[in-house]
Structure formats: C-alpha cells, structure tokens
Amino acid sequence: MSTVENELRIGMVGYAFMGAAHSQAWRTVNRVYDLPVRARMAVVCGRDESKVAEAATRLGWEGHTTDWRALIARDDIDVIDICTPGDSHAEIAIAALAAGKHVLCEKPLANTVEEAQAMTAAAAEARAAGVRVMCGFNYRRVPALALMRQLVESGRIGVIRHVRATYLQDWIVDPQFPLVWRLQRDKAGSGALGDIGAHIIDATQFVTGQRITSVSGLTETFVKERPLPGEASGLAASVDGHLDGAGPATGPVSVDDAALFIARLDGGAVGTYEATRFATGRKNGLRIELNGSLGSVAFDFERMNELEFYDATLPSQEQGFSRILVTEPEHPYLSAWWPAGHLIGYEHSFTHQARDFLEALANGVDPSPSFAEALQVQRVLEAVERSAQERAWTAVESALTAAPA
C-alpha cells in the first residue's frame, strides 16, 4: 500500500472506452462511498504522447507515460488497471504481479485459455505476498442483477430450470464500418463471443451460482471484409489489405459477428445464449431470464433499474409478473446514491466495481471475480468455439473447484 496512509495510487494502461469508464469510477468512488482507503489517480499510460497527455488532463490523471513497463517499475504505484485490448492483458498483468502491484484487468481476461492460465498462476503466486487481483465484469455491479442473485440465493424462484441470456448490439451492421481492432482476432481474441458473450456467461453464472459444464454452439461472420481504418479511396494499399478498384482498401474480418450456444449447468439447469453485433435496432440489449420451480425473474439492461419477478407461490388470482424498481437504499450499492425512485446509469457499475475492489484490498481479502473465475469464463468461450468448429457437444474443462463466489 502507498506510503501515504490509506491511499492506493493507481496506474492505468489504456484510456479509450474502458479507460474513460474506469477513470470516471476512480474519480467518483471516494466521493460517494465512505471507504477505508482512497484511490489516487496517479498515472495513465498510452502509446501516443500527445493523445495520452490530453487524456490525462481530460480524465483527471495527475501524470501520464507512454511506457507501461516503466509505469510498473515505479515505486509510487500500487495498482495497475488494465484497459487495453486483450492481446496485451497477459503480458502487462504478469509483469505487474511480479512487481508486487495489485491488478484490475478488463474482461475477457485474455485472448486464449493458455494466457488466462498463466495470468491465474501468476496471481496465485503473488497472493502469497498479499497481492490481489480482479477481473472487470462490471455487470455484476448493476444493482438489479445483484438483487437477482439475492432472490436466487434466498430460494425465491426455487430450483432453476432454465437460463436464457442474450446480448444484442447493432454497431457493425453497416458493411462499410471499418476494420477496427475488435474485428481482428490477433488483437481481440474473438468477436461478439468474447466481447459481449463473456459478459452474459459471467453474469448468469454469478446470479445462479452454477457453472456451465458443456455447450453446443455455432458462430457466424456475416461481413467477411471491411475497409481499413482511415482508407478513403482505392489508391491506398496495405500489407494484408485488398484493393477493390474504385473502393477503399479492405482487410479480412477474422472474428465472429454472432455466436449462439445451448448449455448445461452444474446445478441441473439448461441454458440458451446469444451474442451478436448484428441485431439491427438493438444498442446494448443484455437480457437474462431465469425460470425456476417457484417463480421467474428477468433483467433487461436497457431497463437497468428494474427487475421482472413472478412468484408462483401466490394464489392463482394474484399471480403475474411484477415490476421491482431497484432504487431503494436497501438494494445493493444504492445506499450512497439518490433518493428512492431516482435512477442510476451504466457508469455507476464501474464505480461499484471500484468500491468493491478498494474495500477488498483495504481488508486484505480477495476481490471477486478472481482471475480463476475469469479463467473459467475463458474456458467456456474456448469450448463454444471448439463446438462450432467440430459441430459437436463440447465439455468445458474445469477451472474452479466450486461455483463462483
């Protein structure tokens, strides 16, 4: 911990979408929650000097650097927050752990099971010296999803029989959308499957307390080639791009656009999962529904302050889905926010994530989800891809000895 009492000095690598979300959380968390330790936004790191300098000013960081290795080596940094594409997660995290830094790493944990295993092994070794890690599955910190977990744990819906999960987006429906890093396997690992499918895998395992044990899946890439970023005419070429006469240079899309799979979970439930970035009209449509022997509960992120709840134990004349507005101070995370009925948004999930991370570090306990839990999600992703390739039911290799904590 910092030489300044009750302070943790944060060094963040990456400053784009996730970097901005994490920065908002670090700026806010100690102003909202009364915590035993404060986060100090010390240094942000990026490859481009002028851009990272501008980001530091805009996002509220004290300093900036272009060298993540130098950042890790600094004695005045306690936590490394990794917000980069997946191809660099393992290298940065393992180096940070070896240097004795706590690590918060964005999801999915890595691009491959092998990388995730190495990260998990490094975390286990560092834990002996009091170093802690967490993987950033922020949807766990949405109050309505946390309440869903409480309803399941208290037995309100009985034995879970069905798990239904979808994550629908439409941001690459246009075939002229450029070939950004998320559409390149060497940088992203996979497409919709890893980018958004990982979220619903983790979220359903979190709320049910059950793990996915086997899958049968398919993946599809609808647009095989896309314009290279910045290309405006067919006059420009690249090493791996292709010229199309009057059109811009293009490159191959090497990840899935959509992934669908059915699953068995270790508590006896069966599940259906769909992740796509081609659901025209859907912007961030994450939905989870659980059907149990005593009732059902459903969550839709586009109505993120609500749960739908069906109590089958009521008299038949009183049964029907009810709407729970998750804004009461008794609901998870909400005691520090606004009066009942006043809604929160997407960014709050990252503030809640930062709160849980800081509390765990201050109390010397392991944050959740751990790298081991994130490795199990990585194994599910790998099993879905293998199932799609082999067109067969595929077992998920065990990574945990118990359901996610």
Cα–Cα distances in angstroms (integers) from residue 72 to residues 42, 44, 91, 332, 358, in the given order? 12, 11, 12, 34, 19
Q: Which of 206, 190, 203, 392 is nearest to 276 (CA)?
A: 190
Task: Reduce the DSSP state of residue 315 to 3 states and report it.
Answer: coil
At 248, is the pLDDT very low, low, confident or very high (cuts 50, 70, 90)?
confident
Per-residue pLDDT at 243: 43
**Is 269 within 8 Å of 211 (Cβ atoms)?**
no
Report residue 239's pLDDT band, with 50, 70 and 90 as the boundaries: very low
Question: Which residues, listed in sequence order, are joined to residue 218 by a DSSP beta bridge?
Answer: 260
pLDDT band at 4 (very low <50, low <70, confident <90, very high): low
User: Residue 231: what pLDDT?
Assistant: 62
- Output the pLDDT for position 3: 43
List the structure tokens of 17.
């979408």
Distance CA 224, CA 361 (A): 45
Write phi, then psi, for 53 (nearest 5 degrees): -65, -45
Across all residues in the chain, what is the average pLDDT? 94
Q: How far is CA 81 from the centre of its chain?
A: 14
Query: What confidence tens digit (pLDDT) does each residue in 71-96 have?
Result: 999 999 999 999 999 999 999 999 99
Residue 405 predicted with pLDDT over 90: no
Does residue 370 carry a pLDDT above 80?
Answer: yes
Fold held by 140-221+256-395: Dihydrodipicolinate Reductase; domain 2 (3.30.360)
User: Tell me: the pLDDT tens digits for 152-175?
Assistant: 999 999 999 999 999 999 999 999
Kindly report, residue by residue over 26-55, the tens digit of the pLDDT.
Answer: 999 999 999 999 999 999 999 999 999 999
Residue type, 370: S
Query: What are the residue boundaries of the structural domains of the chain, listed by start?
Result: 7-138, 140-221+256-395
What are the b/e assignments for 8-20, b being 16+ CB within 10 Å? Answer: bbbbbbbbeebbb
Superfamily of domain 7-138: NAD(P)-binding Rossmann-like Domain (3.40.50.720)
Question: pLDDT by residue (tens digit) across 186-213?
Answer: 999 999 999 999 999 999 999 999 999 9
Comparing CA positions, the residue from 326, 324, 332, 328 lying closest to residue 340 is 328
Q: Which of the four pLDDT bands, split at 50, 70 and 90, describes residue 398?
A: confident
Q: Rounded to two decimals, what is the model's pTM?
A: 0.93
Q: What average pLDDT does the segment 204-226 reach?
A: 98
**Mean pLDDT, residues 268-296:** 98
Burial 48-62 (b: 16+ CB within 10 A, else e): eeeebbebbeebebe
- pLDDT, tens digit, for every residue of 346-363? 999 999 999 999 999 999
User: Which residues are within 8 A (CB) of 200 and not within 5 positions of it... i.e. 6 or more apart?
Assistant: 165, 166, 167, 273, 275, 286, 288
